[in-house]
Chains A and B, each alone.
Chain A
Amino acid sequence: MASQSPPDADADPSADGDMAANGEEPLLSVSNLQTVFYTDKETIYAVDGIDFDVKRGETVGIVGESGSGKSVTARSIMGLIESPGKMLEGSSIRFDGQELTEFSAEEYQAIRGSGIGMVSQDPQQSLNPVYTVGNQIMEALEVNRGMSGEPARQEAIDLLEAVAIPDAARRLDEYPHEFSGGMRQRAVIAMMLACDPEFLICDEPTTALDVTIQAQILELLRDLQAEHGLSIIFITHDMGVIAEIADRVNVMYAGEIVEQAPVEELFADPKHPYTRGLLEAIPGRTEQGEQLRTIEGDVPTPNAPAEHCRFAPRCPVAFDACERIPPQPVTVEDGDEHTASCLLYPEGETEAERAEHHRAAAGERRRGHAESGGEP
């Protein structure tokens, strides 16, 4: 898997290197994002203080088990968190120099589509069955680019052709049920491209598709990215897909990002025990004849602010301090591209030193939030 990623890196070597070097502001910058859901029984910290950046033209992967908060992250960025969910004060989502968390409903509506588009989890359902595919693509065109009538129709045909749907002119007048699963997903992507976004969030766009179609969609996304200069957040639970498409990867667990790294480094040298567990669970990476390893247990529901490492109960290398100290991101390689939130790091220090390091960082983080508005 990892061997497939070099071509990606070759595709835009300048993007990665230069921009980081120039210190250009990232297109999207999420910091301390906290999205909680208030239910009658408990408060669920679905996304609990995550930070990551997406640069222009870059694909950032978010990977994790079901229930780790990936989709909530996507919906938070889109401003689609609905009651009983709420983004806490102190969360910051900066997009293209604007603070999205301060946006009103109307401003958000304007940025959705033309600014940030989203291809959602279920392509089978993303198209309204009572309207033709063309009707829905043209609707997106009208909303975001003010096109209607014949020009819109022509543009819709072009878009369907761009996502490699054959005989686009005829397909435009077909209903979603007349499309196959892969074609429907392409149509949804075409609908999002109709908005001409700078930024695309793909929330498990290939999960419902079979492997060949999956490969075609990934190929398509890569081409579109090269053509339109899109930045993409790609959410999936499939490490193989991540290896193919992402430039950098965030590994999420129970609402937190446990490891951030460029894709090759992550696959070559995973630091966090959870990431290691995920990679070991991929068939083909383990030794021949060996049983496929799994991570025992389930993702816990994060129903309280982190007071300990949430992965500790499932962690093969957990020790006492893991139950008491919430780990903070630590740089684990040269450069600051690769971080892991684990009490095993920084490497080379004693257990007591590491514990103290994380305790101090956690305290600092909490104080920082309290100053910027704070959480209850």
Chain B
Amino acid sequence: MASSTNTQNAEPLRRDDSTVLSRIADNPWPAARWVAVMGVLVLLELGALLGGFLNVVEALLIAVTGLAEVTVGLVSSSLAAGILGFQQSAASTLSGLRADTEGIPTLLSRDVIPNQGYQPGGTGAWEGPFLGLEPAYAWALRLVLVLAYALVLSYWLFRGWLVFREHYRQMEWSPTDDVVDKLRTHRWGQFGIVILVLFLTMGLFGPAMGPTTVEQNILSPYTEDSRIEYYNAESGSVETVFAGEANFNAKSIGSQDSNVGPMTYDDYGRFHPFGTLTNGRDLFTFMMGGARISLIVTGIAIGLGTLLAGGLAMVSAFYRGSIDLGVLTLADGIVSVPRLLLLIMVSAVFANTWLGNILDGGFLLAVVFGLTIWPFLWRAVRGPALQVAQEAWVDAAKSFGQQPSIIMRKHMFPYIMGYLLIYASMSAGGIIISLSALSFLGNGLGISPPTPAWGRAVSLGQGLVSGPSWHISFIPGAMIVLLVTGMNAFGDGIRDAIDPESDTGEGGETTAAGGGG
């Protein structure tokens, strides 16, 4: 308590000249504790985090250079070729780096907790899996640890903000505090956050979560690295086989004798948490791989769409008149084009071109999604932007001669950011559904095979839903539903948290939660 009076006395001074760093130097312990734990958390999974980070960097690099390429390509094809060359070399460097990061020891990896193995003699202890456990348990252990790690890491990041707020922030209160406090009692929003975190985890740590890898099981099952050892009951010895060959004998095609359902083993001692696909590939691994590409495509699309929508909303609110009308007309024009047909057309036109091959076709889709989704976001934020543009402080900034671009960024953007966030998270669900729909249609649409895509799994199992192989369609379908619901819940949560008038509704819940806890 003594310290709190001190802070109050010191407040006027602190507000004058201290920076965050100097405040940390004054009172280093809370920060040091947080950093120490964070450091341990990061070290544990350094390889995976770096790998995931490089993945994001690569996607961004491809997105940015890809867009630059298209734009420059309109003017000069040789320049575009130059950019393409740069993109390829940079991407290959990044891939090399990513390969290096796989060498960094990571605690929760399949090297440390392997789940692949065989039972010498057909019974007894397993050779290969972690501690001789059954592959199912070894895999489950790794999965639980990875999920737990991801949740702890997310919490710790949030905790970092709490530490900052409590010890190092100058203001005693900011509107963000209210938003966070409201989210803390908003169960529906929290459900959305958890789903989002799980989805991000699948994207980032997917390779460690599956019982096998996309590389070995799906992309190149016939290379030397893809050999697996298994106990052959007929010959009574341990033999090796290509994963592809094993897949061939582990198909789920709807008949009782040819089906590997969820939570079962195939003839090669491989555990399949979600069963196998019609081509014998592991569905769980497939889902993890699909999560990554969905994440990247949705991210690029929503990023591009939000950028366009936010920028144009501010431009039309600031200038109004004919500029606003022009944007409106453009938006209406874009909305009037059926998006699915446009996607099909673009996919067909660009099939087998370099542009259509970036990110296995995902990049092109992301750009089309981004360019077609902004009118919806723009309509939603134009209203709030118009309102902000009428504020006297915008006039005041104009009357002291501030540039329009800075007025928009500094005096308008903070007020429409919340709306953008809400609408972006709600539209993300729509993009995931459309992406799955394209993959479902197949025939050169959507993410090109063999790269996993959720919609394709649904499509593969379409005819088998009523038989023993129901899992092929049902599980990915349910995952899509869950993810989209989660995204909407996240958006709802933010909306309620940002809206100061939702206070009353939350009040009851707060008391209830308080009583329960």
What are the residues of chain A within 8 A of B415 when measuring CB–CB? 130
Task: Select which of A84, A120, A128, A131 is within 8 A of B399 by beta carbon.
Answer: A120
Quick check: A112 and B396 within 8 Å, CB to CB? no
B399 and A121 within 8 A (CB): no
Cβ-based interface call for B393 (8 A) = yes
| Nearest CB in chain A to that of B14: its residue | A173
B400 touches A117 (CB 8 A): yes
A43 lies within 8 A of chain B by Cβ: no
Verify A112–B395 contact, CB threshold 8 A: no
Contact B395 A126 (CB under 8 A): yes
Residues in chain B near residue A169, CB distance under 8 A: 16
User: Is the CB–CB distance between A170 and B393 below 8 Å?
Assistant: no
> If the complex has contacts A80-B395, A82-B320, A82-B321, are A192 and B400 also in contact, measured as CB distance less than 8 A?
yes
Which A residues are in CB contact (< 8 Å) with B12? 170
Chain A CB within 10 Å, residue with most, of B12, B15, B398: B398
Give the CA-CA distance A173 to B396 in the complex, in Å. 19
Q: Is A112 a contact partner of B400 (Cβ separation < 8 A)?
A: yes
Interface positions, chain B 385-406, Cβ under 8 Å from A, are 391-393, 395-404
Q: A174-196 CB contact bits vs B (8 Å, 1 = yes)?
A: 00000000000000100110110
Q: Are A112 and B393 in contact (CB under 8 A)?
A: no
B227 within 8 A of A: no
With known contacts A83-B321, A128-B411, A130-B414, A195–B401 Cβ distance under 8 A: yes
Interface string of A97-111 (1 = CB under 8 A from B): 000000000000111
Contact present for B15 and A170 (CB under 8 Å): yes
Q: How far is the CA of A308 from the CA of B499 in the complex (A)?
A: 52
In the complex, the answer to whether A120 meets B396 with C-beta atoms within 8 Å is yes
Known interface pairs A125-B391, A130-B414. Does A80 touch B396 (Cβ–Cβ under 8 Å)?
A: no
A126 & B321 in contact (Cβ 8 Å cutoff): no
B403 near A126 with CB under 8 A, answer no
Residues of B within 8 A of A130 (CB): 414-415
| B321 and A143 within 8 A (CB) | no
Total number of residue pairs linking A and B with CB closer than 8 Å: 82
Nearest A residue to B412, CB-CB: A128
State the CA gap A84–B320 with chains docked (Å). Answer: 9
CB of B466 closer than 8 Å to a CB of A:
no
Q: Which B residue's beta carbon lies closest to that of A114?
A: B401
- Given A83-B320, A130-B414, A169-B16, CB of A113 within 8 Å of CB of B393: no
CA distance A191 to B264 in the complex (A): 72
Number of B residues near A (Cβ < 8 Å) is 24
Chain B, Cβ-Cβ closest to A142? B402
In the complex the two chains form, what is the Cα distance from A44 to B322 in whole Å?
20
A126 CA / B400 CA spacing, docked (Å): 12
Q: When the two chains form their complex, are residues A188 and B400 in contact, meaning their CB atoms are under 8 A apart?
A: no
- The interface residues of chain A lying within 8 Å CB-to-CB of B170 are 173
A121 CB to nearest chain B CB (Å): 7
Determine how close the nearest CB of chain A comes to the CB of B111; give it in whole angstroms. 49
Q: How far is the CB of B445 from chain A (nearest CB, A)?
A: 44
Q: CB < 8 Å: which of A112, A125, A140 contacts B392?
A: A125
Chain B residues within 8 Å of A140, by CB? 400, 402
Considering the chains assembled together, what is the distance between the CA atoms of A111 and B15 in angstroms? 35
**Neighbouring A residues of B15 by C-beta, 8 Å:** 170, 173
Contact at B392–A121, with CB atoms within 8 Å?
A: yes
B residues in contact with A144, CB < 8 Å:
400-401
A112 x B321 contact (CB < 8 A): no
Evaluate whether A113 and B401 lie within 8 angstroms (CB atoms) in the complex, with A122-B392, A173-B15 already known: yes
Complex-state Cα separation, A173 to B401, whole angstroms: 23
A140 to B322, CA, bound (A): 29
Determine if A110 and B399 form an interchain contact, defined as CB atoms under 8 angstroms apart: no
Residue of B nearest to A132 (CB): B15
Q: Which residue of A lies closest to B171 (CB)?
A: A175
* 27 A–B contacts from the bound complex (CB under 8 Å): A83-B321, A109-B401, A109-B403, A109-B404, A111-B401, A112-B399, A113-B402, A116-B399, A117-B400, A118-B399, A120-B392, A120-B396, A126-B395, A126-B396, A127-B393, A127-B396, A128-B391, A128-B393, A128-B411, A131-B410, A136-B393, A140-B400, A143-B403, A169-B16, A170-B16, A173-B170, A192-B399
Residue numbers of A with Cβ under 8 A of B are 78, 80, 82-84, 109-114, 116-118, 120-122, 125-128, 130-131, 136, 139-140, 143-144, 169-170, 173, 188, 191-192, 194-195
- Apart from A130-B414, A143-B402, list 17 A-B contacts with CB within 8 A: A82-B321, A83-B322, A109-B401, A112-B398, A112-B401, A117-B399, A120-B395, A121-B392, A125-B391, A128-B393, A128-B411, A139-B400, A139-B402, A140-B400, A144-B400, A144-B401, A170-B15
